[in-house]
Amino acid sequence: MTHDDRTARPPQQERAIRTRRRILECAAALFDMHGYSATTVEDITKEAEVTRGALYHHFRHKQAVAAAILEAQFEGMTVPPQALRMQELVDAGYLLVYGLRIDPLQRGAARLTMEQGADPVDRTRVMQLWIDFVVSILSEARKQGELRPDVDVDRASRYFVAAFAGVQNMSQAFTNRQDLDEYMTDMWRYTLPAIVSDDAMGKLMVAPERGAQLARHGVVLAS
């Protein structure tokens, strides 16, 4: 969420918020580059140019930094409401893709979620949050008759989240996510027809440039 009540805050509090944000962004960049295990608290304090005391004022340990990055990624996901509920899912996907390209927090969170080695980080919790997010949209879509009758909402939602994780991982490996919007479009093109009714399919807008378009219209992307 963005805050427009900054003027109401005392300067110290504002500084603390900025410092916390800087720690998160620098830690996310390091996690993205080197992974969770290979990044130390000292690496983070150096990168963020803060003292150990400042870091420990905000976070109890490295694990708490990682948890905050994962929370921030999720909190930032707000999509404009649409008459066609499946459009909200498509938009959320493109916004996430856009965020992954411009926001270090999103990139760090993506690697934390994917990395088998980041065991102290509860990545299943984040996966579950994403699955719940998709379930809520698909459940509404079902009520509106946008889904094919044989679709299992829970399993389809789980599949969407899993496939997206794989898609962003491959795009990261090949082009450092520069073509992730194309991958996203392929995912919609080769998955939605099996899930969405023909009528709703005919109304859906699926296009690589949608993330940037939505972002330009003032949609919040990240915390």
Q: For its own copies, which is the closer residue by CB, 194 or 205?
A: 194
> Smallest distance from the beta carbon of 71 to its own copies, in angstroms?
18
Please report whether residue 54 would count as binding its own copies according to CB under 8 A.
no
Q: Which two tokens stand for residue 214?
A: 């939505």
Site for its own copies in 72-101 (CB under 8 A): none
> Contacts with its own copies: how many residues (CB under 8 A)?
42
Please report whether residue 120 would count as binding its own copies according to CB under 8 A.
no
CB atoms within 10 A of CB 169: 17
> Smallest distance from the beta carbon of 87 to its own copies, in angstroms?
18
Q: For its own copies, which is the closer residue by CB, 20 or 157?
A: 157
Which segment (1-9, 52-60, 111-119, 213-221) binds its own copies by CB under 8 A? Answer: 111-119
Q: For its own copies, which is the closer residue by CB, 50 or 167?
A: 167
User: Directed axis angle between helix 104-114 and helix 85-102, to 10°?
Assistant: 100
Q: Which string of x and - marks every residue 132-161 that binds its own copies (by CB under 8 A)?
A: -------------------x---xx-xx-x
Measure CA 196 to chain center: 23
Please tell me the distance from the alpha carbon of residue 212 to that of residue 221, in angstroms, as a whole number.
10
- Which of 38, 64, 102, 205 binds its own copies (CB under 8 A)? It is 38
Which segment (48-56, 96-104, 116-124, 205-213) binds its own copies by CB under 8 A? Answer: 116-124
Please report whether residue 111 would count as binding its own copies according to CB under 8 A.
yes
- Which of 17, 21, 35, 206 binds its own copies (CB under 8 A)? It is 35
CB atoms within 10 A of CB 116: 6
Q: Give the burial class of 95: count Cβ atoms within 10 A of its Cβ; 0-12 exposed, 13-18 middle, 19 or more buried.
A: buried
* Site for its own copies, rule CB under 8 A: 32, 34-35, 37-38, 111, 114-117, 123-124, 127, 151, 155-156, 158-159, 161-167, 169-174, 182-183, 186-187, 189-195
